[in-house]
Structure 1
Amino acid sequence: MKTAYQKCIEACQKCLVDCQNCLIEMAGKSSMNDCPKCCVECIDACLVSIKMMSADSEHAAAYCKLCAEICEWCAEQCSQHDHEHCQICAESCRQCAEECRKMAA
């Protein structure tokens, strides 16, 4: 089980951490889009996906598909900001979305 999900779990973990950092860094800053709101949703989506994959749930693929959609949305939002933490978050979201799409396939 571990090897089948390992890359996706690691991508979700990194995305969760980078989204959390982006969320904290954006506290008190104004935003012209859905950053940092998307980070909140992305953190939850990654957490649930990690839990489902860790449990080898029959629903893991469905959660990963949704997680990929949320990560793609978050990457789009955060990439519009010049802040380094937003750019790091956007890249982690893109990588997570890619791994989640593979898992959902």
Structure 2
Amino acid sequence: MEAMQHEHTHTDTCFDCAETCERCVTALLEMGEEDSKGHDLTACIKLCRDCADICTLCGRLEARGSQFMKSYMTVCAEACEACAAECEKHADHVAHCKACAEACRKCAEECRAMAA
């Protein structure tokens, strides 16, 4: 049986963003309450956790063709933008935050385009 080709979709973008947020949270928790520059990481951790959950649900709603997916994409874009803004504060000295901010910006952009 031949393997089916999988084209990258918006659902994949949502799940990729959720995974990146989860990895960022894990890295931040391992660092402790402050980064190397003394910045409090609590807000970043909270936003990453929210964003991961919201992105996962957004991807699931889209995968099933839910009637609520377009309105939920707007919420997902807002969460991604907030998470990206917070992670960008640490992106110059925390690699996971840089990757997270980039994934969040991409997901927010796709969600906004899909919800339009």
TM-score (norm 1): 0.89
Match of 1:9 in 2: 11
Match of 1:3 in 2: none
User: Is the CA contact (8 Å cut-off) linking 2:50 and 2:79 kept in structure 1?
Assistant: yes
User: Which structure would you say has the larger Rg?
Assistant: 2
TM-score (norm 2): 0.81
- 1:64 has 2:91 as partner: no
Structure-2 separation of matches of 1:29 and 1:99: 32
Identity of aligned residues (%): 38
Return the offset for 1:7. 2.6
Please give the residue correspondences for 1:1-105 in structure 2 after superposition, counting only pairs within 5 Å. Answer: 7-27=9-29, 28-30=32-34, 31-32=39-40, 34-81=43-90, 82-105=93-116
Amino acid at match of 1:74: C
Structure-1 separation of matches of 2:94 and 2:55: 22
Higher helix fraction (1 or 2): 1
Structure-2 separation of matches of 1:32 and 1:69: 22
Cα RMSD for the two superposed structures? 1.3
Higher relative contact order (CA 8 A, sep 6+): 1
Structure-2 separation of matches of 1:23 and 1:101: 25
Structure-1 separation of matches of 2:109 and 2:82: 13
Alignment size in residue pairs: 100
